[in-house]
Amino acid sequence: MTTPRWLVAVALVVVAACGGPSRQARTAQPPHHTQSTMSGMASWYGEAQMTASGERFDKHALTAAHRTLPLGTMVRVTNQKNGKSVIVRINDRGPYGHGRIIDLSEAAARQLDMIDAGVAPVTLEVIH
């Protein structure tokens, strides 16, 4: 059985239309979560809960919640007010507070000396 010519033509048009992104599209800016640094306000949380990664939240672990960074990403968080920094692993989603870019575990917030303030201006640097 031979394939009708019109079906072959339609298949070629479909394949050509799905040829992939243009060269211009490939050079576009990367999505937000692949940026290596970002700045904004950090907060902290300490309530026991299940995290988006499926592990139980541990306020003593150096972990954090971020809206878009992949779970498991390691991030250096630096408190812009005092220069202190800590490396945390993203294991949850959030923060849900307006204007915040990261929610830190209590242990990470202690290392940044921001427990009493509750929030602090920070710079995030994606390590890997």
Out of 26-30, 82-86, 87-91, 101-105, which region has the weakest mean confidence (pLDDT)?
26-30
49-62: per-residue pLDDT in tens?
899 999 999 999 99
pLDDT at 110 over 50: yes
50-59's contacts with Cβ under 8 Å and 24+ in sequence apart are 51/91, 51/92, 52/91, 52/92, 52/93, 53/91, 53/92, 55/91, 57/92, 57/105, 58/105, 59/105, 59/106, 59/107
pLDDT at 89 over 60: yes
pLDDT at 46 over 90: no
The second-level CATH assignment, the architecture, of 32-126 is Beta Barrel (2.40)
Please report, for the chain, the start and end positions of each structural domain, with discontinuous segments joined by +: 32-126
Model confidence at 97, pLDDT cuts 50, 70, 90, reads: confident
What pLDDT is recorded for position 31? 36
Model-level pTM?
A: 0.71
